[in-house]
Structure 1
Amino acid sequence: MNPSSNPLVMLLDIFRSPTSCFLALHQRGAWGWQPYIVLILSPFLFWGAYFSNVDFTWLSAELSQQLNPEQLELLDSNTLLASEIISDVFGRTLAVLMLAFWFNLAAKPSVHQHGYWKWFAVSSAVMFPAVLGDIASYASLILKHGNVMYYAADLNSLNGLIKLPLTNDWSQFASSLPLLLPWYIVLGYSAVLTWTEFERGQALVISALPWVGYYLIWAIYILVS
């Protein structure tokens, strides 16, 4: 397997040949900034399109059934736009940083050692399919002529399918849980196999454990509280 020949091909290889992508990142860790930059720019484009297309009068009327009057008085399109963009950018950045920390920690027993920022590059590639979710969200928005609630507009999340209202205890959980989680796990699995000598089972556990552990603890917390 040959590494990706240039940064653009590397982005394509995240989808068609992950091993080639991770071989390229092993040689040129700085290329990892490109998927990260696209990953955090994408929410600006999607949410900008959403609030340009949605009927804000209709949106406010729907929200009035879920929020109290004091909360509604503070909401306008610019506030919601900024809130959603900041939430996505912060959430994706935190996920990449924490995933890189986990990979760096979990790979310590390996004879092949890589620095934190190398794993940051890997984590950016692992999260990159979220850009496809943004594209799918935009397509859904156009097909529905903007008549979709903002908390159910992002098809990267489970709530994009089940559309739980803000008043539901599971709404925030569903809005956080990525539909592309299996893809993230597979990409992480491929990266660990490519960069270490670990067996397949060990690589799968390393890739899946942070995701499964985080959402399992969160779900248990909701159930017991």
Structure 2
Amino acid sequence: MSHLINIFLEPAKVFADLREKPTFWVPLLLMAVLTAVSTLLYFMTVDPAWFAEHQSAQVLLQNPEMTSAELAQMQSFMPGARTMGWIAAAGALFVIAIVFLVYAVYYLLAGKITGQAVGFRHGLALVSWSTMPMVLGSLVVIGAVLTSSPQTPLESMQLTNIDPLLVQLPMDHDWSMLAKSFSLLNFWVWFLAALGWKTWFRTGWGQALVVVLLPSIVIYGVMALFAIL
């Protein structure tokens, strides 16, 4: 359990220990539970009537050609805020599990390409422990939910993201999705993952950073390309 503190204070020591005995359940479950809790808490405290109007406004913003009849029909099938909370919380658990598994497989394949002996457990441990800064992001969301108006969009609670921390872009802005998706905590996560790779396989920072950053470059690069086009 000391790793939960030392990953922030002495990450190199943590990864040195994990090289011999890779573990992942504690950080994985902590990340999944706090993400689900922050999501559920938002939907349990948001003003249901306002949330329904907000959803409709966002749909119209993305589909301005939609008629009133079509919007009314869509609203009849949309779940309420409370129901949406349970759906979103369960979805968060599922998504985190899938993302972590995909990254573990990626590190496994990256190890084969670079000639490093990366087992699946090591890959899962690397992604789980390096993602610990995102736990702080979930705590920030929880704090924002508890102190903000019940008529506040969920994306406005993500105070570690470029939007709303540095800019506030309308939903129909070309760069809105990227700004609302990119957390400044990513830099911390990337550093920890690269440090873990470097510590385990005694490589230089160059290989470690290339391996760690490649998926994010692809993901955010595609989002930037869509924004440009």
Q: Which residue of 2 aligns with 1:152?
A: 156
Root mean square deviation of aligned Cα: 2.4
Matched with 2:11 is 18
Amino acid paired to 2:41? A
Q: What is residue 3 of structure 1 aligned with on the other side?
A: none
C-alpha contact 1:137 1:155 (8 A) present in aligned 2:
yes
1:218 Cα offset (Å) = 2.7
Equivalent in 136, 140, 147 of residue 136 of structure 1: 140
Q: How does 1:189-208 map to 2 (within 5 A)?
A: 189-208=194-213
**Could you tell me how far 1:102 is from its partner in structure 2?**
2.3
**In the alignment, does 2:81 pair up with 1:89?**
no
Query: What TM-score comes out, normalization by structure 2 length?
Result: 0.82
8 Å CA contact retained: 2:175, 2:227: yes
2:105 pairs with 101, 105, 118, which one? 101
Partner secondary structure for residue 214 of structure 1? helix
Query: By how many angstroms is 1:191 displaced?
Result: 0.6
| 1:110–1:198 Cα contact (<8 Å) kept | no
Amino acid at match of 2:205: R
- The one-character-per-residue Cα deviations of 1:132-159 (angstroms, maximum 9, x if unpaired) are 1011111122222333112333345444
- Change over 3 Å in CA distance of 1:90–1:172 after alignment to 2: farther
**Aligned match of 2:192:** 187
Deviation at 1:55, TM superposition (A): 1.6
Aligned length in residues: 216
Relative to structure 1, the CA distance from residue 169 to residue 86 in structure 2 (aligned partners, 3 Å threshold; closer, same or farther) is farther
User: Could you tell me how far 1:109 is from its partner in structure 2?
Assistant: 5.4
* CA contact 1:100–1:119 (8 Å) conserved in 2: yes
| Correspondent of 2:217 among 191, 212, 220 | 212
- Name 2:54's counterpart in structure 1: 62
| SS of residue paired to 1:203 | helix
Distance verdict in 2 for CA 1:184–1:71, change over 3 Å: farther
How far 1:103 moved relative to its partner? 1.9
Change (3 A) 1:95 1:157: farther
TM-score (ref. length: structure 1): 0.83
Following superposition, the deviation at residue 111 of structure 1 comes to 6.1
The verdict on how the C-alpha distance between 1:160 and 1:41 changes in structure 2, with shifts beyond 3 A counting, is farther
Are the structure 2 counterparts of residues 206 and 17 from structure 1 closer, same or farther at C-alpha, using a change threshold of 3 Å? same
How many Å separate the matches in 2 of 1:82 and 1:191? 35
- Alignment pair present for 1:72 and 2:64: no
Structure 2 counterpart of 1:72, which letter? Q
In structure 2, the CA distance between the partners of 1:112 and 1:21, relative to structure 1 (3 Å rule), is same
| Aligned counterpart, 2:63 | none
Identity %: 25
CA shift in 2, pair 1:57/1:86, >3 Å: same
In 2, the alpha carbon distance for the partners of 1:186 and 1:167 equals: 32
| SS of residue in 2 equivalent to 1:60 | helix
Structure 1: gaps (5+ residues): 1-7
Could you tell me how far apart the structure 2 residues matched to 1:165 and 1:85 are?
25
Q: Supply the distance in 1 between the matched residues of 2:195 and 2:178 (Cα, whole angstroms).
A: 27
